[in-house]
Structure 1
Amino acid sequence: MTATFYPPKKSDSAIIPNGILATGYASFIVSNINGLTIPDSVTKIEGFSFYGTKLTEVNLPNSITYIGEVKTLISMKLPLNIYELKIGCFFNTRLTSIELPESLKIINSGCFTNCPNLKRVVLPENLTTLNGKVFDTTTELVFKENSNFYINDYYVIMTKDNQTVSQYIGGNEAKEIPILSDVIEIKSSSFKDKSLLRKIIFETNSKLKIVQNEAFSGCNNIECIELPRSLTKIGGKAFYNCYKLKSITLSECTSLGKNVFENCNELTTISMEDSSLTILGDSVFSNCTSLNNIYLPISLTTIGFSTFSGCTSLTLVLFHDKISSIGNNCFENCNLEEVDLSICTSLTSISEYCFSGNTHLSEIKLPSTISVINSYSFSNTGILIFTCPLSLEKIYSDSFLSCVSLSTIVIPSECRLSSISGGSFRNCFSIKNITCKNSNYVVVTGALFDIHMTSLILFPPASPVKFFSLPGSTTNIGEGAFMSCINLVSIMIPSDSVIEISQNAFEGCDHLSCGCEIENQSKTFLTTLISISKLPSRCTHDCLSLCSIKIINNIQSNFLIHPFIAMLL
Structure 2
Amino acid sequence: MFLELRLKSLISKQIILNFQYEIQGDNLIVNTINDFEDAEAAIKTIKERNIKSLTYSDGSNYPMFIGAGLVENIIANQPETNDIMIPKYLCYKSVHIKTLTVNAEVSIGPYAFAYSTIQTINNIQNVKAICESAFEGCSNLNLVGLINHCQKNCLRFTKIVNLEVKTIDPFGLQEMHELETVTIQSALIPEKAFYNCFKLTTVTISVQNTQILKSAFENCGIQAFNFEHISEIDSWAFRNTKLQSIELPNSNLKLYNGAFCQCPFLTTVTITDSVTIADFSGEQFKECYSLETVDYRNTNKVPTRMFMFCYKLATFKSINNNLDIEEEAFYSCTSLRNIDSNQVGNIYDKAFIYCISLREFNPTYSRIGHKAFYGCQNLQITNIHNCGRYSFAYCSSISTCTLKNSLDDGTMINCTGLTSVSFENIVRIPFKCFQGCTNLETISLSASVKNIDINAFLDTNLNMEELDLSNCQKIGSFAFKNTKIKSLIFSNVYNTDEENGIPFDGVTTIKKITYRSSYAFRPKDFRDSTNIEIVFEDNNFQIKDDTIIDSSQLYYYYPSSPSNEYTVNPEIRQIMSYAFAGATNLKSITINHYIGSDSKFALANCKSLQTINIDFQNSEGYSLSIPCGFFANCINLITVNLGQKISMIEKGAFEGCISLTSIVIPSDTKELSDYCFTGCTKLEKIEFLADSVKLKGYCFANCTSLNEIKFNEIIQMYEYCISGCKSLTKLNVENIKSISANAFSFSYLENIKVPANLLQYENAFRYCNNLKKVELFVLHPEFYHYVKSGCFNSSSLEEIVLPDCIQSLEEFSFGFTKLKKLFIPNSVYSISPKTFYGSDDIQLEMDCSHPFYTVGEYELVEKATGKLVLTFGKLPSAYIVPENIKIIGRDSIFSPPKINEETKKVIDFGLTT
Indicate whether 1:458 and 2:876 are aligned: no
Residue 811 of structure 2: aligned partner: 395
Q: What is the CA distance between 1:424 and its match in structure 2?
A: 5.1
Q: Does the CA-based 8 Å contact 1:110-1:133 persist in structure 2?
A: yes
C-alpha change, 1:250 and 1:35, in structure 2 (3 Å) is farther
Q: Distance in 1 between matches of 2:469 and 2:766?
A: 54
2:620 is aligned with 1:205: no
Residue 510 (structure 2) aligns with: 118
1:232 & 1:83 partners in 2: Cα distance? 36
CA displacement, residues 220-267 of structure 1 (integer Å, 9 cap, x when unaligned) = 551333265335452226333343132223735666122534435222
Flag the 1:237–1:162 CA change in 2: closer, same or farther, 3 A: closer
Matches within 5 A, 1:414-425: 415-423=829-837, 425=839
Q: What residue is the counterpart of 2:572 in the other structure?
A: 162
**Matching residue within 23, 38, 41 for 2:407:** 23
Residues 121-144 of structure 1 show CA distances to partners (whole Å, capped at 9, x for unaligned) of: 234543266364733343423143
Q: CA offset at residue 192 of structure 1?
A: 2.4
* Aligned residue in 2 for 1:46: 430
Kept in 2: contact 1:477–1:500 (CA 8 A): no
Deviates more, 1:332-341 or 1:415-424: 415-424
Q: Sort the Cα spacing of 1:200 and 1:182 in 2 relative to 1 into closer, same or farther, 3 A.
A: same
Question: Structure 1 residues 234 and 165 mapped into 2: Cα distance closer, same or farther (>3 Å)?
Answer: same
Work out whether residues 369 and 391 of structure 1, in 8 Å CA contact, stay in contact via their aligned partners in 2.
yes
Taking a change above 3 Å as real, the CA distance of residues 150 and 282 of structure 1, as seen in their structure-2 partners, is closer
Query: Could you tell me which residue of structure 2 aligns to residue 97 of structure 1?
Result: 487
For structure 1, which runs of at least 5 residues remain unmatched after alignment? 462-467, 482-498, 508-528, 536-569
Separation (CA, whole Å) in 2 of partners of 1:450 and 1:113: 63
Aligned to 1:246: 663
1:536-547 equivalences in 2 (<5 Å): none
2:719 aligned residue: 304
What is the identity, as a one-letter code, of the residue corresponding to 2:540? N
**Which one has the largest radius of gyration?**
2
Q: Which residue of 2 aligns with 1:177?
A: 589
- How much is the aligned-residue C-alpha RMSD, in angstroms? 4.8
From 674, 677, 685, the counterpart of 1:260? 677
Amino acid at match of 1:57: I
Matches within 5 A, 1:223-238: 223-226=639-642, 229-230=645-646, 232-236=648-652, 238=654
Paired residue type of 1:49: C
Write the distance in 2 (CA, Å) between the matches of 1:434 and 1:500: 21
Structure 1 residues 290 and 64, CA gap change in structure 2 (3 angstroms): same
Q: Quick one: distance in 1 between partners of 2:615 and 2:520?
A: 25
**Residue of structure 2 aligned with 1:449, choices 860, 871, 876:** 860
TM-score normalised by length of structure 2? 0.44
**Cα gap change, 1:29 to 1:142, in 2 (>3 Å):** same
| Counterpart for residue 775 of structure 2 | 362
Which amino acid is 2:882 matched to? P
Structure 2: how far apart are the matches of 1:121 and 1:59?
17
Residues 340-374 of structure 1, C-alpha deviations (whole Å, 9 max, x = no match):
143x69x5534461755333533365972536331
* 8 A contact 1:393–1:416 mirrored in 2: yes
Secondary structure in structure 2 of the residue aligned to 1:373: coil
Q: Which amino acid aligns with 2:430?
A: E
Tell which has more relative contact order, 1 or 2 (C-alpha 8 A, sep 6+).
1
Deviation at 1:339, TM superposition (A): 0.8
Structure 2 residue runs of 5 or longer lacking an equivalent are 1-366, 389-403, 542-549, 901-905
Which AA in structure 1 matches 2:435? Y
| Aligned residues of 1:232 and 1:254 also touching (Cα < 8 A) | yes
Q: 1:192 pairs with 597, 600, 605, which one?
A: 605
SS at match of 2:748: coil
Deviates most, 308-317 or 148-157: 148-157
Question: How many residues in Structure 1 have an aligned counterpart in Structure 2?
Answer: 474
Post-superposition Cα deviations, 1:84-130, rounded to whole Å, max 9, x if no partner, equal: 54443322112233222244478956443432332222345432663
User: Normalised by the size of structure 1, how large is the TM-score?
Assistant: 0.67
List aligned pairs for 1:329-478, cutoff 5 A. 329-330=744-745, 332-335=747-750, 337-342=752-757, 347=760, 349-351=762-764, 353=766, 357-363=770-776, 365=778, 368-370=784-786, 372-374=788-790, 376-377=792-793, 379-381=795-797, 383-387=799-803, 390-396=806-812, 398-399=814-815, 401-403=817-819, 407-412=821-826, 415-423=829-837, 425-428=839-842, 433-435=845-847, 441-444=853-856, 448-451=859-862, 452=866, 457-458=871-872, 471-472=882-883
- Following superposition, the deviation at residue 470 of structure 1 comes to 7.0
Counterpart for residue 151 of structure 1: 557
